[in-house]
Copies of this chain bind each other. A is one copy, B any other.
Amino acid sequence: MDEPVLLTGAGGHVGRTVLNGLREEYDWRLMFHSQPAHEPEFPYWTGEVENHADVRPAMEDVNAVIHLAGDPRPDAPWESVLSNNIDGTHTVYECAVEAGVDKMVFASSNHAVGAAETDERTPEMYRAHDDFRLEGDEFPRPGNRYGISKATGEVIGRFFHDEYDISVCNIRIGNLNEDHPPIDYERGQAMWLSPRDCAQIHARALEADYDFEIVYGISDNDRKYYSLERAREVLGYDPQDNSAEWDGAERIDGTAEAVNVD
């Protein structure tokens, strides 16, 4: 527990998972889009992430930011992702460098490379025997306008790193599913990210030293087409879960339960 960490998009799915898993680990500052139903346990702000005046106060004295805020819908219309995700991410970076933040962890998405799942490669690429891997250093290949906005957020981060020397880790988050991996959905099983692995990769991204990174945020699934090499090597990410250890909603060995998000 050192200097404060700001979590934007604290009310969203990934935000709740990160906070649930790392509640005791950091001195959190939270930013919500609108007033949360329950009073948060940590200092918090509400506002539009693309508005400098809404974001800037939340950055004061902050050492690192986990930026999750934005329109999370894969089918979000262009106007929304242009404003909430592209302009919003630019505003968050501008406020961060003004405030002297050292490190930005940006929630990118599998959708930034969704169109790499071509007709020729699928469904084979979703299967354990297939060795096709995306490493993360390729030119982006978004599968929808939401994916365009996430790839652009990565490019914005690349610029802010090079120009202002802020450390940037982009996590292309897979399929965060509570309780168990997606059922009867090969693609979702290949990119499953368990709640505890989600919390861990964000913690490692807050702790590790790096310049600019793009990593994949998935569990250590037998099925996978995202490489975990950079996340392991640079962040020290050590995923604990694997969608192959599940049969539908049940763990094959009957042991641990996936961690629920409250």
Give me the interface of A with B, judged by CB distance under 8 Å.
78, 82, 86-87, 90, 115, 137-145, 147-148, 151-152, 154-156, 158-159, 162-163, 214
In the bound complex, CA of A148 to CA of B138 (Å): 17
In the bound complex, CA of A156 to CA of B138 (Å): 15
Q: Are A155 and B158 in contact (CB under 8 A)?
A: no
Q: Are B145 and A158 in contact (CB under 8 A)?
A: no
Q: List the 7 shortest-distance A-B pairs measured between CB atoms, nearest first.
A: A115-B162, A152-B152, A142-B159, A151-B155, A140-B155, A148-B159, A137-B139
In the bound complex, CA of A82 to CA of B85 (Å): 12
Q: Are B159 and A155 in contact (CB under 8 A)?
A: no
Chain B residue, CB-CB nearest to A160: B148
In the bound complex, CA of A153 to CA of B86 (Å): 13
Q: Are A90 and B78 in contact (CB under 8 A)?
A: yes
Q: Are A159 and B139 in contact (CB under 8 A)?
A: no
Q: Are A214 and B163 in contact (CB under 8 A)?
A: no
CB distance from A23 to the nearest CB of B (A): 34
Residues of chain B contacted by A141 (CB below 8 angstroms): 158-159, 162
Q: Are B145 and A159 in contact (CB under 8 A)?
A: yes
Residues of chain B contacted by A152 (CB below 8 angstroms): 86, 148, 151-152, 155
In the bound complex, CA of A145 to CA of B94 (Å): 12
In the bound complex, CA of A78 to CA of B97 (Å): 15
